[in-house]
Chain A
Amino acid sequence: MSLHTLTAPRAPRAPRAAFGTIVLNEARLAWRQPAGIVVAIGVSLLLLVIFGSIPVFQQTSARLGGLSAFEVYIPILISFSIGVLALAYLPGPLVSYREQGILRRLSTTPVPAFWVLAAQFVVQACLMLIAVFLLIGVSVAGYGAIAPRNPGGLVLALVLAIAALFAIGLSIAAAARTSGAARALMALTFYPLMFFSGLYVPMQILPRVFAAISHFTPLGAAVQAIQDSMLGQFPPALPLLVMAAYAIVFGYLAKRFFRWE
């Protein structure tokens, strides 16, 4: 034992640049394991192009509330891009990071482990926004859709939709102990939510009860709010409140039950 007495160092903070390097590596991983990008951007754009190329999809219909099927599908495909990233491609990496001890190792560095989660959020949110821009851009430029008339409402609807879906995705990551369990929970959540968004059959042509349920599901509310803001109205309170409620409740559950190891 040394006889002299020394002064311990003071508490430092992790350099801010560290967050940038984590985001950069998460972006590299998203690029190198491109399933999320392919599905969220590639598949949704492909569907948009296909729907846009079918003449009958361009005809307005009273059953669709005076819209064309193509116009009905634009917000649905936007919601699909957000939903598939948040539910299918966010929980998986987080659960495997925990399984492999990556989060545990991080917790011994000056960087808080939740920075990884935040970095995932940044990367996925960027992918979502790219998907939204491309979907709207292609539908306007290529297929004569009308540009969103209420951009403020659209931004608010997108922010709430992303927040609600992320909160649900994080709750899956919190509840699932293994990657397998995460996949199962993802499937159980993703397909019903996509059904109620109208991806398989637009809600307008189903019995009213489905539309009524749809309004209280996160993706159904997202479709409604996005649709309205594209047509020029500020989205009504109900879908916005529904999405906010999902964000808050599932955000709380995720925070409460997420385990770092």
Chain B
Amino acid sequence: MTTYTSAVEISHLRKTYGNLVAVDDVSVSVAEGEIFGVLGPNGAGKTTAIECAVGLRRPDAGTIRLLGLDPHADRDTIHEIVGVQLQTTAFPAKLRTGEILDMYRSFYRQPADVGELVEALGLSGKLRDYYRSLSGGQRQRLSVALALIGRPKIAVLDEMTTGLDPQARRNTWELIEHIRDRGTTILLVTHFMEEAERLCDHVALIDHGRIVALDTPAGLTAQARGGKTVRFLPSARFDERVLTGLPEVSRVERDGQHVVVTGTGELVNAVLFALRAAGLEAWDVRLDASTLEDAFVALTGARLHEEHKEKGVEHKEGALA
């Protein structure tokens, strides 16, 4: 009988293509019921590592255990308990969404409820549509549904929300959290920082095939420089010393009518409280927290695509005043 202590155990994984080292000495351990994020710029080796993990590629060195099982030696079991969403998957153009779902459903002995799954992914109205008539986002959501249709113990999702509109992305996140709450371990490849911050218990940052950081999203964010900034429109002119004296504040700048305060900790509370004490109000308050993306940029030196930047948490005007 095979026993295991963690859902995914990868040690010293290495995979090369000719002279190119795609994955170099990668070791991770993912606890059961955890959402584990794999982050990195394009070409960092994320997909290669994931494909080795699910048995689609043979690693050159290292060991992989999923629930204690080897992806090659125990492939029959692995296929039953691991659900996979690959980056590049298509289906026959002239099959209907519902037919593809029913077919994949029949592959598993204890499949998920298709109705529930398509409801959560917003595909209920598309079951009679041919695959070729689905939009990119709908195809993506179908692909996620197929990864989850066998009630996997481990779900491996490669860029699951790429191409989805913000609403569909949030719905997908809710579904993933729901699936995790039922005990499924989730391995998530992403380059959406917001997604990793929202979902992941731990993230591994991969760059040039190596893990450059492995921590909780909060832990990684703390490693980043810069801290947070609060930007607001004061109700009247005031002496900057009202704010510069605060322990949370490191810098106060003016940007036209607006004031931009940089600092750490409970910055918003501290600033708003100090302003109120001085008889002022702050309007149009915006918080720019240092994000996982800042950590990412700091640690890899990489720049993410502009569309993936989704920084900024908006606070309602006077919420704390």
Interface residues of A (CB under 8 A from B): 1-15, 17-18, 20-22, 24-25, 28-29, 32-33, 93, 97, 100-102, 104-105, 107-111
Assembly CA distance A11 to B84 (angstroms): 18
Interface residues of B (CB under 8 A from A): 1-6, 29, 31-32, 54-56, 67-69, 74, 76-77, 79-82, 84, 86, 88-92, 94-95, 99-100, 102-104, 106-109, 146, 150, 153
Nearest B residue to A115 via CB reads B107
Assembly CA distance A24 to B106 (angstroms): 12
Nearest A residue to B130 via CB reads A32
B102 near A29 (CB under 8 angstroms)?
Answer: no
A8 near B69 (CB under 8 angstroms)?
Answer: yes
A1 near B6 (CB under 8 angstroms)?
Answer: yes
B3 near A6 (CB under 8 angstroms)?
Answer: yes
- Nearest first, the 3 A-B pairs at minimum CB distance are A100-B90, A8-B2, A21-B106
B68 near A8 (CB under 8 angstroms)?
Answer: yes
Known: A13-B76, A25-B99, A32-B94. A7 touches B89 (CB 8 A): no
Set of chain B residues within 8 Å of A107, measured between Cβ atoms: 56
B106 near A105 (CB under 8 angstroms)?
Answer: no
| Shortest Cβ distance from residue A93 to the other chain B in the assembled complex, whole angstroms | 8
Set of chain A residues within 8 Å of B31, measured between Cβ atoms: 1-2
Known: A6-B32, A9-B77, A25-B103. A101 touches B89 (CB 8 A): yes
Contact among A21, A102, A110 for B89, CB-based, below 8 A: A102
| Shortest Cβ distance from residue B108 to the other chain A in the assembled complex, whole angstroms | 7
Set of chain B residues within 8 Å of A9, measured between Cβ atoms: 67, 77, 80-81, 153
B90 near A102 (CB under 8 angstroms)?
Answer: yes
Set of chain B residues within 8 Å of A11, measured between Cβ atoms: 74, 76-77, 80
Seed contacts A15-B108, A108-B86, A110-B107; 19 additional CB < 8 Å A-B pairs: A1-B5, A6-B32, A7-B1, A8-B69, A9-B67, A9-B81, A10-B77, A12-B80, A12-B109, A32-B94, A93-B92, A97-B92, A101-B89, A102-B89, A102-B90, A102-B91, A105-B86, A105-B89, A109-B79
A2 near B99 (CB under 8 angstroms)?
Answer: no
Nearest B residue to A108 via CB reads B84
Set of chain A residues within 8 Å of B108, measured between Cβ atoms: 15, 109-110
A8 near B4 (CB under 8 angstroms)?
Answer: yes
Contact among A10, A12, A25 for B95, CB-based, below 8 A: A25
B103 near A21 (CB under 8 angstroms)?
Answer: yes
Assembly CA distance A4 to B6 (angstroms): 9
A111 near B107 (CB under 8 angstroms)?
Answer: yes
A108 near B79 (CB under 8 angstroms)?
Answer: yes
Nearest B residue to A26 via CB reads B92
- Provide a sorted-by-A list of 25 A–B residue pairs whose CB atoms are within 8 angstroms: A1-B5, A1-B29, A2-B6, A3-B5, A4-B5, A5-B5, A6-B67, A8-B3, A9-B81, A9-B153, A10-B77, A11-B74, A11-B80, A15-B109, A17-B106, A20-B106, A21-B102, A21-B106, A25-B99, A97-B92, A101-B89, A101-B90, A109-B107, A110-B107, A111-B107
Contact among B77, B88, B104, B150 for A101, CB-based, below 8 A: B88
Assembly CA distance A56 to B19 (angstroms): 71
Assembly CA distance A10 to B248 (angstroms): 55
| Shortest Cβ distance from residue B117 to the other chain A in the assembled complex, whole angstroms | 16
Set of chain B residues within 8 Å of A97, measured between Cβ atoms: 92
Assembly CA distance A151 to B219 (angstroms): 78
Assembly CA distance A105 to B107 (angstroms): 13
| Shortest Cβ distance from residue B70 to the other chain A in the assembled complex, whole angstroms | 10
| Shortest Cβ distance from residue A106 to the other chain B in the assembled complex, whole angstroms | 9
Assembly CA distance A87 to B63 (angstroms): 43
Assembly CA distance A101 to B51 (angstroms): 13
Known: A104-B56, A110-B108. A12 touches B76 (CB 8 A): yes
Set of chain B residues within 8 Å of A110, measured between Cβ atoms: 76, 79-80, 107-108, 150
B2 near A7 (CB under 8 angstroms)?
Answer: yes
A29 near B92 (CB under 8 angstroms)?
Answer: yes
Contact among A2, A22, A29, A109 for B150, CB-based, below 8 A: A109
Nearest A residue to B88 via CB reads A101
Set of chain B residues within 8 Å of A7, measured between Cβ atoms: 1-3
A6 near B4 (CB under 8 angstroms)?
Answer: yes
Set of chain B residues within 8 Å of A2, measured between Cβ atoms: 5-6, 31-32
Assembly CA distance A18 to B92 (angstroms): 17
Known: A9-B81, A109-B150, A111-B107. A101 touches B6 (CB 8 A): no
A29 near B95 (CB under 8 angstroms)?
Answer: yes
| Shortest Cβ distance from residue A137 to the other chain B in the assembled complex, whole angstroms | 30
